[in-house]
Amino acid sequence: MRYRGYHKFNLNPILIIIVANLLVFVATTISSSLIYRLGLVPAFFLNQPWTVVTSIFVHGGLWHLIANTLTLYFFGSSFYRLVGNTRFLIVYFTGGILGNVLYILLGEPLSVAVGASGAIFALGGALAIMTPKLRVIIFPIPAPMPLWIAVIGGFVILSFLPFVAWQVHLGGLVAGLIAGYFFKKKARYYY
C-alpha cells in the first residue's frame, strides 16, 4: 500500500507580514483613529511604546501599502532564501524598530510615522551587501542595475519627497547594511 508523504506546513514570514499589513490597512480604513493608536508619534512614545513596532504594520494609503508590499515581496523573497526565517525576521524588525528610534530622535514630535519602509530598507541594504552583483529592474527604468544602486538611489530619491520620514529609511538602511556585512562575513567561513 502506498501512502502520501507528510509535508510540513511552513508559513512564510513574508506572507504573514503581508496579510498583517492588509488586515491593519482594512482596520485603519474602517476606523481612522486606529492610525493614531498604532502609528508612531514621537511626542507620545513614552505613553504608547508599542507604536515603535505597530507603526510598521500601518500604512498611510493604498499606494503606500502597494509600494511597500511589492518591495517587501521582491527584496524579502530573495533575502529570505539566503538567510531563512529567524534572520529574516531579525533584520526586518530590527530595521523597522531602529528606523523608528531614529524618527523619535530626529523627526517631527507631533507627526505620525507609519509604514514598513524602514524594515524594507533593512532587507534591501542587507541584500545589497550580501549579493552585490545582483541586478534588478526598478520601474519605470527599463535597464537592469546593480541592487546597491537601486537601494541607495531609492533612499536618496525618497528622502526628498514631502511627508516622507527619511529618518526611518536611514535607520532601516543602516541596520540592513550592518546585518548584511555580518551575514556575508559569516557565510565566507562555510565555503
124-142 pLDDT per residue, tens: 999 999 998 888 888 778 8
Q: Would 74 be classed as within a structural domain?
A: yes
Q: Would 28 be classed as within a structural domain?
A: no
Residue 103's domain comprises 51-188
Q: How confident is the model at residue 189 (pLDDT cuts 50, 70, 90)?
A: very low
What's the pLDDT score for residue 142?
Answer: 81
Q: 175 phi and psi, to 5 degrees? A: -60, -45
Average pLDDT on 100-113 reads 96
**pLDDT of 163 over the 80 cut:** yes
Q: Would 16 be classed as within a structural domain?
A: no
CATH (domain of 81): 1.20.1540.10
Q: Would 90 be classed as within a structural domain?
A: yes
Cα distances (angstroms) measured from residue 59 to each of 7, 93, 139, 174, 183: 35, 16, 21, 22, 30
The domain tally of the chain equals 1
Q: Would 149 be classed as within a structural domain?
A: yes
Cα distance between residue 46 and residue 41, in whole Å:
10
Q: Would 15 be classed as within a structural domain?
A: no
pTM of the predicted protein model: 0.89
Peptide bond before residue 146 is cis, with ω within 30 degrees of 0? no
Q: What percent of the chain has pLDDT over 90?
A: 73
Q: Would 22 be classed as within a structural domain?
A: no
Model confidence pLDDT, tens digit, residues 3-40: 455 555 566 999 999 999 999 999 999 999 999 999 99
What's the pLDDT score for residue 191?
Answer: 40
What's the pLDDT score for residue 140?
Answer: 78
Candidates 123, 183, 130; CA nearest to 151 is 123
Q: Would 101 be classed as within a structural domain?
A: yes
